[in-house]
Structure 1
Amino acid sequence: MTDYFATHAPAISQEIKDFFAERRRAARELSPNLEQSIDILEDFTLRGGKQIRPMLVLLGYELAGGKINKAAYQVAAAVEIFHKHILNLDDMADRDEMRYNGPTIWKKYEAVFEGWKDAQHHARSFAEIDGTLLGSFAFDLVRRAQLPAEIKLAVMEVLINRMYFETVAGWQIHYHQNQESLEAANEEVFIKGLDLVTARYTFVGPLKIGLILAGKTPSKLRKAVESYAMKVGLAFQITDDILGVFGDPKETGKSVGNDIREGKKTLLLQRAYQAAQPADQEFLADVCGRELRPQELERAQQIIRDTGSLEYSLQLAHQQIAVASQDLQAVQLSGKTAEEARSVLRELAEFIGQRKK
């Protein structure tokens, strides 16, 4: 898997750099402020991340018999740009200050506007404006790819409906649930949100785009890919939530404990609350949704361990990964490249179960 990522990451990054270079030249003719926005957006887009989504585009393409070319790299790059657009929205909603070991866009602007009256408001306003621009860049890059018009439209349909519309629905589910008490939180509702926000957005959408690039795809392959994507997506988010509470910020690039501070009713927290002693339930209910002192975070971590919630979440993630690999293995493929793509997807599933960032 690491070899596959190392092989294709430079080409994806180069497509992003080339696109931003062209946009920077256009911005320079209009406004120095717009040129500054391009610089900030390019830094945010290229600064870090695992590039899982663009790689899934390429893997889906190869799985269906496609041979990677410039157009495939452009679409993969567009998916990465779209993802960074979504992350900016996420950072603003969650008030995150750090992403990939650097400031989030709104935090970057807070430094730019230091000394301004109401600097934070202006910083968040510029992050909203720049984020909108970043989202448009994804569609612009798809438009520029040398592909048949019907393929471009089909790709955009996935971006709009699968990776935008459904993600917003999932966000809203979780956002409303975050305002509920831990006692009232419902695991089924949370899982539905995960299905929309992570499984469909991170895995189903990009893999489907890859299949679209390859043209007509057998229905058995489409169904197997979607089944794999849904299960691995659930496992991915479960492990992500675990890292949000137990991860090392130096490895994850994100602050630990943010999910608890934001009041997110993760599976990890719901299970811990259900199994905890009354005093610990009262403690979890109190800290969920507010700033945590270091010793409070440590106590929350201990409760999650002691109640078996951490072990339950890990086991569920591993079960999903095992079944996902079986789903993918059962489908018949044609050609060495497709078999290699399947092997990488199996390795990716295993990596997700063991990841530390």
Structure 2
Amino acid sequence: MTLNEYFALHSPRVTEAIQAFFATRRTAAEKLSPHLVQSIDVLEEFSLRGGKRVRSMLVLMACQLAGGELNDAAYQVAAAVELFHKHILNLDDMADRDELRNGGPTIWKRYQQLFEEWKDGVHHARSFTEIDGTLLGSFAFEMVREAKLSAEQRLAVMDVLNNQMYFETVAGWQIHYYQNQEPLAEADEEEFIKGLDLVTARYTFVGPLKIGLIIQGKADSQLARALEAYGMDVGLAFQVTDDILGVFGDPTETGKAVGNDIREGKKTLLLQRAYRSASAKDQAFLSEICGRDISEAELHHAQQIITASGSLQYSQHLATQKVETALQSIEGLTLSESGVEAQSVLTQLAQFVAQRKK
């Protein structure tokens, strides 16, 4: 089974679980307030709109790798992880002031449109977004609570969500936000990588894989250690590739403006390595443009410096190397038939990470 076929097969079941959950909440909201019904509608539309659903699919893959069948509880928890991810995306959208997400307005932009005629409408839009976002986060935990798992398993899943995927993600965000305010000359590569490990590797890959193993009672096993190693390596490769696309990608494929990382002052590995190897003149140029709006000509010059310094080649090699190491982590495992299928999909996912263009 190909990666796309796996997602196409299982994503509809996650959608069904999300829709069923929101149906019960809408019924409850109708007894309380039409405004709460509006919030439910906004959150459901946002939760179901677009996205690759990598994290929820990783939950299911880990279940199969552990020899389990994909039952209603597995899909319920996978859906909970998807809601949790949407909650995190809402926080990210507010922090970055993004107006679009997966082809539609972000929640705060949606409320800004709804409250356009209100006095101080922008403030009220952000207030409603904070309230609804908190509600969405609570819905993720409620879905876990309702899953047909043992009490011990439910608590273990919630612990991963609350600590590994929330607490540690906040730490990673803060590392990068503070670093974005520092001069490029003072940026610390080790600290930046630490932030990537927390925000991408542990949040996107390690956490969801661990949740899938918890569902099957295999959270402390050789398989768990193999998947954690896989997740850390492929997660770093994913983000390094993302940073490359942020400077060299094709906007028609990525859906993002090229150069935004530079404009936002992000001290990516790509930029740090280029700065350290550049001439004094080029260092001054990179320092000056990092954190401000840049022209096409300035972006092109930055691309030339990054390429000539060897930073682009280094980042590409690092991503490829991490994918190879990740794949070695999941070789030689004793697996069931469904586990072998999931292993194949995990392999394809890692290969996609290093080769992706969007």
The TM-score with structure 1 as length reference comes to 0.95
Secondary structure of 1:292's partner? Answer: coil
Could you say what the CA RMSD is over the residues aligned between the two structures, in angstroms? 1.6
What's the counterpart of residue 87 of structure 2? Answer: 85
- Paired residue for 1:230, among 223, 229, 232? 232
Query: Could you tell me how far apart the structure 2 residues matched to 1:30 and 1:51 are?
Result: 32
Mean alpha-carbon deviation: is it higher for 347-356 or for 95-104?
95-104
1:287 aligns with 2:289: yes
| Cross-structure match for 2:148 | 146
**Correspondence for 2:139:** 137
Query: Structure 1, residues 123-173: CA drift from partner, whole Å, max 9, x if none?
Result: 222211111111011001111111111111110011111111111111111
What is the aligned partner in structure 2 of residue 269 from structure 1? 271
Task: Indicate if the aligned counterparts of 1:261 and 1:287 stay in contact, CA closer than 8 A.
Answer: yes
Query: Cα distance 1:303–1:229, how it changes in 2: closer, same or farther (>3 A)?
Result: same
Shift of the alpha carbon at 1:250? 4.1
Q: Is 1:2 the equivalent of 2:8? A: no
In structure 2, distance between residues paired with 1:312 and 1:335:
38
CA distance in 2, matches of 1:94, 1:292: 18
Partner of 1:11: 13
1:51–1:80 Cα contact (<8 Å) kept: yes
Match status 1:176 vs 2:202: no
**Kept after mapping to 2: 8 A contact 1:263/1:290:** yes
Measured in 1, the distance between the counterparts of 2:319 and 2:331 equals 19
Q: Deviations over 1:60-94 (max 9, x none)?
A: 11101110011100000000110011111111112
- With over 3 angstroms needed to count, the CA separation of the structure-2 counterparts of 1:205 and 1:36, relative to structure 1, is same
Identity of aligned residues (%): 67
The answer to whether the aligner puts 1:356 opposite 2:357 as a matched pair is yes
TM-score in terms of structure 2 length = 0.95
Alignment of 1:199-210 (within 5 A): 199-210=201-212
Asked if residue 63 in structure 1 is aligned to residue 65 in structure 2, the reply is yes
Aligned to 1:163: 165
Deviations 1:21-65 (A, max 9, x none): 222222222222222222222222111111110000001111011
**Alpha-carbon offset, residue 217 of structure 1:** 5.4
> Do the aligned residues in 2 keep the contact of 1:98 with 1:255 (CA within 8 Å)?
no
State how far apart, in whole Å, the 2-side matches of 1:306 and 1:37 are.
51
Provide the rounded CA distance (Å) in 1 between the counterparts of 2:219 and 2:284: 53
Give ranges in structure 1 of 5+ residues lacking alignment. none
The answer for the alignment partner of 1:343 in structure 2 is 344
Superposition pairs of residues 99-110 of structure 1, within 5 angstroms: 99-110=101-112
User: 1:107 Cα shift?
Assistant: 1.7
What amino acid sits opposite 1:76 in the alignment?
A
* Alignment-derived partner of residue 41 in structure 2: 39
- Between stretches 95-104 and 125-134, larger displacement belongs to 95-104
Aligned to 2:321: 319
In structure 1, distance between residues paired with 2:24 and 2:246:
37
- Size of the aligned set, in residue pairs, is 356
Residues 210 and 219, structure 2, Cα contact 8 Å, conserved in 1: no
The answer to whether the aligner puts 1:213 opposite 2:247 as a matched pair is: no
Which residue number corresponds to residue 122 of structure 1? Answer: 124
**Once the two structures are superposed, what CA deviation does each residue of 1:282-338 show, in whole Å capped at 9, x if it has no partner?**
2221222222334333333333233222221111001000011011103x3231111
DSSP-derived class of the 1:191 partner? helix
SS at match of 1:157: helix
